Chains A and B, each alone.
With several copies, the nearest count.
Chain A
Amino acid sequence: MRRMSFGQATVDAMRSAMREDDRVVVLGEDISWGGNFGQFRGLLDEFGPDRVIDMPISEAIIMAVTVGAAVTGLRPVASMSFVEFTLGAMDEIVNQAAKFRYMFGGQVSVPLVLRASDGVLRSSAGQHSSSLEGLFTHLPGLKVVAPSNPADARGLLRAAIADDDPVVYLENKRITAKRGPVPAGDHVVPLGSAAVRREGSDLTIVTYSVMTLHAEKACSSLAEMGIEAELIDLRSLVPLDLDTVLSSVARTGRVVVAHEAWEFGGFGAEVVSAITGQAFDRLRAAPVRVGAAQAPIPFSPPLERAVVPGSDELVAAAREVMGLT
């Protein structure tokens, strides 16, 4: 085990992938300087400017070039720093990257990774605080992962680069600097496998990314109240490991689904609907969702706090699903 931050985990995964396979290149704004969050630091020195490519502020072309490279033999990783900037490349992500394999009848794969940082970090305000997985997960042809700790960051990014399909890798900004243990060696976390972070029999909390940390805290508070929550960290949203979720819900009969993204129409709605559809008879109460209130993310801290959920909201939701309100 080594201890490293999310940022270092990215560098580590990138370095392993780039050493192993010289088709792996990385493109993004300021990338040769290490990227906005230092997640690419040191790669230029080892791999040079042919593989670590500074891009102009042209998100659409970053993605289009990535697609062009991916379908002609490379395995590019594109970086978009803040996830809102992907909105300037949506045509390329959705109409091109996601659809090429299918639309062309399977004759080509599109092995690329789109990496972006999402979520709230100290009042970055409306255009730099969103979580947009609800968009990517809805659109067929994209795989989507969102780690909650450096080991998964390392392992999922490695799996994403090794995957032959377009994978959107989303990392919450607030946890990027956090450190944690990462298994030695070339640690890989397969796409599509959730992790049970804590076992419990009273209710199931399903979440991912930063919300897993809030949920760990919430689980402790709940335990003090005598409520034992099982905590599932999805890690991979597409493909979704529904089996792990359903087998937990089958035991607990109660479920809270949480994310930092907007609740309305968010990915949590899919998880709740899927659970309801497949385990209705096991449910002892209506699943409860936790997500951001339906407003752009405000700047001022008290407003930001009012819109974006944390462990308090998770505790409240757990108590609600337990019928304790």
Chain B
Amino acid sequence: MSLTENMSPGLALGIHRTMVRIRVFESRVEELFKAGKLPGFVHTYIGQEAIAAGVCAALDRNDYITSTHRGHGHAIAKGMELGPIMAELYGKATGACRGRGGSMHVADFSVGMLGANGIVAGGLGIAAGAALSARYRGTHQVAVGFFGDGGINKGTFHEALNFAATHRLGVVFVCENNQYAQFTSRLRTTSVEDLSVRASAYGIPGITVDGNDAAATYREALEAVGRARDGGGPTLLNMETYRFGGHYVGDAEVYRASAEVEARRQADPILRWERTLTDEALMTAGLGEAVWAEAADEVSAAVRFAEESPHPDGGTALENVFTQVC
């Protein structure tokens, strides 16, 4: 069976393009942060691109996702434009959240991106609520809740999965198991090795997926999303991956051996996908280079947009605390 069997060439290339855009965006963010251009803190998605790209490729534009502190990749994959994301990271008035949110709170409700979230596992119940709402409104929208291996130990994981399972809601819970929560290996805080077994506590399917293989992330997401859309209830996908960078940009990474990082970097999801696409004659070297070049241009344009945009005016700081001021 061909790895890209269930995909059209356009889709396979689209997933590649999304991954590349995320990689280039995040690499530039890293540079910008190190150059002191960005306020706040940034958590980059480098190394995990196959997950956001594969999962979001299985979603419709009006489906929902909730995201995490490591949310740029999700935002891009769900269809947010790069300019407003970058401007948000700069704290500019043209940012996706008008500079109010920053890196950890990137959101665009118009494409179903219900927000990055600075609270670990904070999005899971919100995804369940969005799915409940979609069911009630009869729209067949699916909600994906992204979270990390650290988030799986939070009480809200349990409460959200139980609720979603009981009501057979159209949610897919996607655990991005990158092996660490901040500085701490998941093995030190988590009672089971294979995180997918946690699904059994709710009577729902739990599947461990090679999260660096875009074919697998897409395939499993497609199946889970299909089930969710058809009233078959939630799924827990445990996507095994690795973050190439530190927890945040600037992390000294004392907690993991550089040999481990080097070894894991070999499984680069983008290079791997490029090999697959090349093997299956869907991509040529020239095409690949064009995608990277295009992404670089696009990111440069986003940076330009952000840098040329004005900061919000301090006088507007009290706007939008409430919708209605009585």
- Which of A65, A100, A165, A294 is in CB contact (< 8 Å) with B125? A65
A165 → B minimal CB distance (Å): 5
Q: Is A280 an interface residue (CB 8 A)?
A: no
14 A–B contacts from the bound complex (CB under 8 Å): A29-B184, A33-B183, A65-B126, A68-B127, A101-B323, A105-B99, A107-B109, A125-B100, A125-B102, A127-B105, A295-B318, A299-B99, A303-B100, A306-B317
- Which of A74, A123, A128, A141 is in CB contact (< 8 Å) with B322? A141
Q: Is B196 an interface residue (CB 8 A)?
A: no
User: In chain B between 100 and 133, which residues have their CB closer than 8 angstroms to a CB of chain A?
Assistant: 100-105, 107-110, 114-115, 117-122, 124-133
A301–B125 CB distance below 8 A: no
Query: Which residues of the partner chain B approach A92 to less than 8 Å between Cβ atoms?
Result: 122, 125
Q: Of A3-11, A50-58, A199-207, which binds chain B? A: A50-58
A56-B318 contact in complex given A73-B133, A299-B99, C-beta closer than 8 Å = no
B125–A102 CB distance below 8 A: no
Rounded to whole angstroms, the CA-CA distance of A307 and B99 in the bound complex is 14
Query: Which residues of the partner chain B approach A106 to less than 8 Å between Cβ atoms?
Result: 98, 100, 319-320
- Which of B91, B125, B184, B317 is in CB contact (< 8 Å) with A293? B317
Q: Is A185 an interface residue (CB 8 A)?
A: no
B16 → A minimal CB distance (Å): 30
- Which of A55, A85, A164, A300 is in CB contact (< 8 Å) with B324? A164
B104–A108 CB distance below 8 A: no
Rounded to whole angstroms, the CA-CA distance of A102 and B156 in the bound complex is 23
- Which of B114, B120, B136 is in CB contact (< 8 Å) with A57? B120
Q: Besides A84-B118, A107-B108, 9 other CB < 8 A contacts?
A: A50-B136, A56-B154, A95-B118, A95-B122, A125-B104, A126-B105, A239-B325, A301-B39, A303-B100
B114–A303 CB distance below 8 A: no
A60-72 CB mask vs B (1 if < 8 Å, else 0) is 1101111111111
Closest chain B residue to A74, Cβ basis: B133
The CB with the most chain B CB atoms within 10 A, among A67, A85, A102, is that of: A102
A103-B132 contact in complex given A29-B181, A140-B321, C-beta closer than 8 Å = no
B125–A60 CB distance below 8 A: yes
B322–A58 CB distance below 8 A: no
A57–B100 CB distance below 8 A: no
Closest 9 CB pairs of A and B: A68-B129, A64-B125, A299-B102, A300-B91, A105-B98, A123-B39, A300-B99, A105-B97, A106-B320
Q: Is A191 an interface residue (CB 8 A)?
A: yes
A103–B119 CB distance below 8 A: no
Query: Which residues of the partner chain B approach A216 to less than 8 Å between Cβ atoms?
Result: none
Q: Of B1-9, B294-302, B308-316, which binds chain A? A: B308-316
B156–A71 CB distance below 8 A: no
A299–B159 CB distance below 8 A: no
Query: Which residues of the partner chain B approach A239 to less than 8 Å between Cβ atoms?
Result: 325-326
A56-B190 contact in complex given A125-B101, A299-B40, C-beta closer than 8 Å = yes
- Which of B105, B163, B315, B319 is in CB contact (< 8 Å) with A55? B163
A127–B118 CB distance below 8 A: yes
- Which of B96, B128, B311 is in CB contact (< 8 Å) with A65? B128
The CB with the most chain A CB atoms within 10 A, among B110, B118, B181, B318, is that of: B118
Rounded to whole angstroms, the CA-CA distance of A239 and B324 in the bound complex is 11
A84-B91 contact in complex given A63-B125, A68-B125, A71-B130, C-beta closer than 8 Å = no
- Which of B108, B160, B182, B311 is in CB contact (< 8 Å) with A61? B160
- Which of B64, B101, B163 is in CB contact (< 8 Å) with A105? B101
B151–A123 CB distance below 8 A: no
Q: Is B179 an interface residue (CB 8 A)?
A: no
Q: Is A163 an interface residue (CB 8 A)?
A: yes
B326–A109 CB distance below 8 A: no
B100–A298 CB distance below 8 A: yes
A104–B101 CB distance below 8 A: yes
Q: Is A302 an interface residue (CB 8 A)?
A: yes
Rounded to whole angstroms, the CA-CA distance of A233 and B118 in the bound complex is 32
Rounded to whole angstroms, the CA-CA distance of A143 and B108 in the bound complex is 25
Q: Is B27 an interface residue (CB 8 A)?
A: no
Q: Is A21 an interface residue (CB 8 A)?
A: no
- Which of A67, A102, A293 is in CB contact (< 8 Å) with B126? A67
Q: Is B263 an interface residue (CB 8 A)?
A: no
A66–B129 CB distance below 8 A: yes
A54–B189 CB distance below 8 A: yes
A118-150 CB mask vs B (1 if < 8 Å, else 0) is 000011111110000000000011010000000
Q: Is A265 an interface residue (CB 8 A)?
A: no
Q: Is A244 an interface residue (CB 8 A)?
A: no
Q: Is A305 an interface residue (CB 8 A)?
A: yes
A306-B315 contact in complex given A64-B125, A104-B97, C-beta closer than 8 Å = yes
- Which of A60, A76, A108 is in CB contact (< 8 Å) with B156? A60
Query: Which residues of the partner chain A approach B184 to less than 8 Å between Cβ atoms?
Result: 29-30, 32-33, 54
A137 → B minimal CB distance (Å): 14
Query: Which residues of the partner chain A approach B151 to less than 8 Å between Cβ atoms?
Result: 57
A192–B326 CB distance below 8 A: yes
User: In chain A between 233 and 280, which residues have their CB closer than 8 angstroms to a CB of chain B?
Assistant: 236, 239
A60–B323 CB distance below 8 A: no
- Which of A36, A294, A299 is in CB contact (< 8 Å) with B101? A299
